[in-house]
């Protein structure tokens, strides 16, 4: 059923999962974009109720503190936009209540991404898809988001046949406990102590782990599967072939991706560079003479998708290779969701 309710110019916004890493980032992004909210509600589990979160303010909401409320189905009465980052189970549990209250759920989990009636949106790529939502809009996987932002301006030159992507994903993509484990293990390693391994399947300090999420029947991981199916949906191209290998690296924040892209028609690195430089949300950082290229350790907290090492891929007739970096908590999660919310404004 098509959504008919008009979002007001100054909507009431609920942040579900406000005490988590992405939830806190939602609050930062709402401030940074000066989202025109009439009110911002911070929601979380019962154990977080009563906590106070600093908020720099946005729209009609002054700077100060937000008192966290326990999230229940009744929490969404009077809410216009609900930004969710509380896990797939909570999103599924609260979906009916959110939609029944007349709010639009923008969900950061994997709960609804591949449902036919749920748009999967990256505003720089397929903003028009928000028009057919029925109360829920999904935020794609973080690694998918930055890849399609870089691919879209190239696809517009000539359609893409195939993408081979290897990811270099930061520890924070696995949550706050994973970041803590990287810190702790690094200290233990340097002190010659036994390493505490809990958040990851293996040691993460001074190591890389070619395993993110669960393994599937074809021996790919669910993270890799997400990149394949989500890219097809966002790009509106079921024939686009994607092969992904997703790897966790000992970086705190920002994912890197190595892309080899095969196109249907001819495309030069020069053409690609011009298209990327003109593309919204993209920064070309590519000056090899001066050793300039995107690096995760230097780009934490940024909003853009950074592209470098742009060159011809000589292994195929019409191929390019490039390197892409983005902050997966900002563009890969909170920023993308708030940008979707902006698309809903009158």
Per-residue b or e along 22-31, where b marks 16 or more CB atoms closer than 10 Å to that residue's CB = bbbbbbbbbb
Between CA 244 and CA 164 the distance in angstroms is 6
Closest CA to 87 of 58, 112, 116, 115: 112
Q: Which of 58, 133, 246, 255 is catalytic?
A: 255
Between CA 29 and CA 327 the distance in angstroms is 13
User: Which residues are paired to 282 by β-bridges?
Assistant: 305
Contact residues for 78 (Cβ-Cβ < 8 A; gap 6+): 12, 101
Q: Which of 58, 133, 142, 254 is catalytic?
A: 142
Between CA 277 and CA 150 the distance in angstroms is 10
Between CA 16 and CA 105 the distance in angstroms is 10
Annotation marks residue 255 as catalytic = yes
Cβ distance 198 to 206 under 8 Å? no
Residue 2 has a CB neighbour count (10 Å cut-off) of 9
Cβ distance 279 to 152 under 8 Å? yes
Between CA 153 and CA 273 the distance in angstroms is 10
N-to-C CA span, the chain: 21
Closest CA to 170 of 148, 200, 135, 191: 200
Output the CA torsion sign for 88, 33, 296, 268.
positive
Cβ distance 167 to 256 under 8 Å? yes
Between CA 321 and CA 262 the distance in angstroms is 9
Q: Pairing state of beta strands 69-70 and 12-16?
A: unpaired
Annotation marks residue 254 as catalytic = no
Active-site positions read 142, 255
């Amino acid at each position: 059923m098509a959504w008919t309710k008009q979002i007001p110019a100054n909507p009431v916004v609920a942040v579900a999962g406000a005490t988590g890493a992405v939830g806190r980032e939602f609050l930062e992004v709402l401030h940074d974009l000066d989202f025109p909210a009439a009110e911002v509600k911070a929601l979380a589990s019962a154990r977080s109720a009563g906590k106070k979160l600093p908020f720099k303010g946005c729209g009609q909401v002054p700077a100060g503190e937000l008192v966290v409320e326990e999230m229940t189905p009744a929490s969404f009465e009077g809410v216009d936009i609900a930004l969710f980052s509380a896990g797939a189970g909570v999103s599924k549990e609260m979906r009916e209540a959110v939609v029944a209250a007349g709010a639009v759920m923008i969900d950061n989990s994997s709960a609804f991404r591949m449902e036919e009636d749920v748009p999967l949106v990256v505003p720089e790529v397929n903003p028009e898809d928000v028009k057919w939502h029925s109360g829920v809009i999904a935020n794609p996987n973080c690694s998918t988001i930055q890849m399609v932002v870089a691919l879209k301006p190239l696809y517009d030159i000539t359609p893409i046949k195939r993408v081979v992507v290897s990811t270099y994903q930061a520890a924070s993509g696995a949550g706050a406990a994973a970041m803590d484990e990287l810190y702790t293990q690094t200290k233990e390693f340097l002190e010659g102590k036994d390493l505490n391994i809990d958040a990851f399947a293996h040691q993460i300090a001074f190591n890389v782990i070619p395993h993110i999420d669960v393994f599937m029947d074809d021996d790919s991981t669910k993270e890799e599967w997400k990149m394949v199916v989500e890219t097809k949906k966002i790009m509106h191209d079921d024939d686009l072939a994607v092969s992904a290998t997703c790897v966790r690296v000992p970086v705190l924040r920002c994912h890197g991706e190595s892309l080899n892209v095969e196109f249907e028609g001819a495309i030069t690195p020069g053409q690609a560079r011009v298209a990327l430089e003109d593309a919204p949300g993209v920064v070309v950082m590519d000056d090899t003479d001066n050793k300039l290229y995107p690096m995760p350790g230097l780009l934490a907290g940024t909003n853009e998708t950074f592209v470098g090492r742009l060159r011809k891929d000589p292994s195929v007739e019409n191929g390019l290779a490039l390197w892409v970096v983005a902050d997966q908590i900002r563009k890969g999660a909170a920023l993308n969701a708030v940008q979707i919310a902006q698309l809903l404004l009158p």
